[in-house]
Amino acid sequence: MKCSFCDEQALYVRPYDKLALCHEHFNGKMQKRVQKTITRYNMLKRGDRIAVGVSGGKDSIALLDILHKIEKDFPESEIVAITIDEGIEHYREEGMHYAKLHVSRLGIEHHVFSFEKDFGHDLDSIINKLGARGKDRELGACSYCGILRRNILNKAAKEVGADVVLTGHNLEDEAETILLNIIRGDIQRLGRLNPTPRKIHESLVPRAKPFRATPQAEIVMYCLINELEYQEIQCPYAIEAYRGDVREFIFKTQEKQPMLCYNIVRGQDKLLASIKEIKPKQELRNCKECGNATTGDLCKTCWLKQQLDN
């Protein structure tokens, strides 16, 4: 099949609009969508020092590659890569390898932080102590990891002097998060899921997701045709059944309804305009231990530290 825009052979046909794309036009569309997303939601300002969370997986590798191309037109902005070593044996080493490979290929400044060094315990030892599944269904490996990753990524961003943190969350990830908040009836959190990075607390560096309109399949394709190697194996702790069900629903339904995730994400954008009026149940306060943003007395990181010290 021929590319819809030129005489070259098409490599990919987008399921939602049937556009056939050659290598060059595929790359062009990918980059343009990221640019449009950044502009649409005011994700970046001129001269920003931009921290990108790079795990070594497909999303972060592709994002770093595309941002590097885009930023060539904005020499006053600067990209720095941040990788967090959770301390997961037989898993993190490979991701770290790919993160380092691409960061140095692109000549980007790289900073590595770790659970061990920056929190005092690595994930393996946390799980050993607290169990892969806590008593509460909400707690377990992925939530401990999530709490610490968010905390350390923010700390890292502050340390490297970043104005904004970008992560590789894609369209399906975003749709999944929206659906989960709806399923839980958590309208407060839905209201906080704002695509425009904002300073919601003095301790937090604003964050954004430039891939929130980019489907996972296109990210995989981008890595494939541009020969970007990445870590493919899943984290050994990725067993969160609850989140898994929603993910399965998304990918199954998407086969018949290719616009599904776009509709969910666009729906959220429209909803935001009206749920903004809902006042947050609790204002963000300063954690009494570390001063970071929290709704209670202790932030989740300090709470986790307490659990481990008990």
Q: Which of residues 219-238 bind Zn ion (CB under 5 A)?
A: none
For position 6 contacting Zn ion by CB under 5 A, the verdict is yes
Choosing from 8, 116, 240, 269, the residue that interacts with Zn ion (CB under 5 A) is 8
Instruction: State the nearest-atom distance from the C-beta of 10 to Zn ion, in Å.
Output: 7
- Collapsed DSSP state (helix, strand, coil) of residue 11: coil
Size of the site for Zn ion (CB under 5 A): 12
Per-residue x/- mask for Zn ion, residues 280 to 309, rule CB under 5 A? -------x-xx-x------x--x-------
For position 25 contacting Zn ion by CB under 5 A, the verdict is yes
Instruction: State the nearest-atom distance from the C-beta of 203 to Zn ion, in Å.
Output: 9
For position 30 contacting Zn ion by CB under 5 A, the verdict is no
**Residues 65, 27: contact at Cβ < 8 Å?**
no
Choosing from 20, 22, 66, 80, the residue that interacts with Zn ion (CB under 5 A) is 22
Q: Which helix (H) or strand (E) holds 6?
A: none
Instruction: State the nearest-atom distance from the C-beta of 254 to Zn ion, in Å.
Output: 25
Sign of the CA dihedral with 192 first, then 193, 196, and 201 last? positive
Of 14 and 133, which has the nearer Cβ to Zn ion? 14
Rounded CA-CA distance 227/249 in Å is 30
Instruction: State the nearest-atom distance from the C-beta of 168 to Zn ion, in Å.
Output: 26
Beta strand 285-286 with 49-53: parallel, antiparallel or unpaired? unpaired
- Collapsed DSSP state (helix, strand, coil) of residue 29: helix
Q: What tokens does 57 get?
A: 């997986």
At 183, the amino acid letter reads I
Cα distances (Å, whole numbers) of residue 114 to 92, 104, 154: 11, 19, 13
- Residues in contact with Zn ion by CB under 5 A are 3, 5-6, 8, 22, 25, 287, 289-290, 292, 299, 302
